[in-house]
Amino acid sequence: MTSLRSFLRVLQPSPLAPVLGLSHIAQWLALPMVALLWAFATLGEAKPMAQWRWIDIVGEGGMGVMAGIWLFQLRLSRPGGRVTDLFCLGLAAILLGQWVDLLDEFWHLPKAVVWDNGLESTLVPLGALLLTLGLHHWRLEQRALTEQLLKRERLFREHRSMDGVTQLGAARYLQAQIALEQRMRRPGAMLMLSLKDFDRVARELGLAEADRLLQALSHLLLLNLHPEDLLCRYAADRFCVLLPGSDAEAARLQAEQLSLAVRSLAHHSRSGQRLQLQALTACAEIDLAQAPETQLLTLAQLLLRAA
C-alpha cells in the first residue's frame, strides 16, 4: 500500500521551478526564438533544399531539442534558487545558440549582417560558463545536503533504494552496506527496532497517520545515533541501525538508549491524541561470512520473538 501511494505521488504533475522569479520562462524564451526566426526570414535569402546539410540540421536541431528537454527536466526536479537559475540560464543560452545555428542552415544572410556570427560565437560559450558556475554552486549545495543526510546514507547514494515515507535507505540499501562491510573485513553490529502495537495504531488512526508516526520516529532515531551509524527502514515499522566498529554489547546499550528515547517521544496525532509508544529491539553482530539478507531475516525473527 505504501509503494502504491508513492507511485501515485510520482504520477501527479509537479510545478515547474521559477527562473529569476519568473514562472513562465518558456514563454520568455520563445520570444527571442521567434524574433530570430523573423530576422532570418526577413533579412536572409532561403537556401534551396539541395544546399541543406542534413547532418548539421540533425546535429544542431537535436542538440537544441536536448537542451530544451534538460531545461524542462531541471525545472521539474529542482526548487527555485541560485543553482536552478544558473543551470536554466545556461541551458537557455545553449538552446538559443543552437537555434541560431539551425536557422543559418536554411537562410543566407547578407555579409553586412554580422550579428548572427556574434550570436553563434557567444551564446554557447556563455551557456557553458553559466553551467560551470551552476555546477560550482551545486557542489556547495550538495556538500550542505550531505551533512543533512548524515546517518541516512554512507559512502554511496542510490535513490532507487530509498524509502518514500521516511527518506531513509530501504532494505536493499542496507544489504549493500552490510556487504560492503564484509568485503572490507570490518567488524560491526546491527540492531533492529519496531513499535509495539503499530498495527493497531495504523488500523485505528489510518495509514496516513501511521506514516506520520514513522516519519517522526525516523527523526527521533537519527537524533540519537552517532555520526558514523546508519539508519534504514527495513520494512513496515521495523528500522535497522548499522553500527560500524561496534560489538554486541555496544549494540545492546544503543538499543536501550533508543528504546528510552521512543518511550519519551510525545507524538500527537492530527486529532490531538497522544500516542504512548514502546519499542521492541533485537541486536546481533555482523557475520562476515553470512549473506546480508540471511542476517537481516534472522534479526527480524529475533525481533518477533522479543514481542
Q: Is residue 51's pLDDT more than 90?
A: no
Rounded Cα distance between 118 and 115, Å, is 5
**In sequence order, what DSSP letters do the residues of 29-75 get, joined into one string?**
HHHHHHHHHHHHHHHSEEPPGGG--HHHHHHHHHHHHHHHHHHHHHH
- What confidence category does residue 274 fall into, taking pLDDT thresholds of 50, 70 and 90? confident
Give the tens place of pLDDT for each residue, 84-119.
999 999 999 999 999 999 999 899 888 888 888 888
Find where cell 551533512 sits.
147
Give the tens place of pLDDT for each residue, 216-236.
999 899 889 988 899 999 998
Instruction: Decide if 223 contacts 244 (C-beta within 8 A).
Output: no
- Identify residue 223 by its one-letter amino acid code: L
Instruction: Decide if 233 contacts 165 (C-beta within 8 A).
Output: yes
- What confidence category does residue 16 fall into, taking pLDDT thresholds of 50, 70 and 90? confident
Superfamily (CATH H level) for 159-306: Reverse transcriptase/Diguanylate cyclase domain (3.30.70.270)
Distances (CA, A) of 127 to 5, 94, 243, 266: 39, 5, 46, 51
Instruction: Decide if 43 contacts 113 (C-beta within 8 A).
Output: yes
Instruction: Decide if 241 contacts 283 (C-beta within 8 A).
Output: no
List of residues 6+ apart from 122 with CB closer than 8 A = 97
- pLDDT for 146: 63
Q: What is the mean pLDDT of residues 162-166?
A: 81
Rounded Cα distance between 11 and 6, Å, is 9
End-to-end CA separation in angstroms for the chain: 24
Following CA atoms 213, 219, 223, 228 in sequence, which dihedral angle do they give, to the nearest 10 degrees?
A: 120
> What is the chain's alpha carbon radius of gyration, rounded to the nearest angstrom?
28
Q: Among residues 286, 4, 291, 6, which one has the least CA distance to residue 159?
A: 6
- What confidence category does residue 7 fall into, taking pLDDT thresholds of 50, 70 and 90? very low
Q: What is the mean pLDDT of the chain?
A: 86
Domain ranges (residues) in the chain: 10-148, 159-306
Rounded Cα distance between 241 and 301, Å, is 16
Residue 262, C-alpha cell as written in the block: 521512543
Find where cell 534472522 sits.
298
Q: Is 142 left (phi over 0), alpha (psi -120 to 50) or beta?
A: alpha
List of residues 6+ apart from 107 with CB closer than 8 A = 40, 41, 44, 45, 46, 47
pTM over 0.85: no
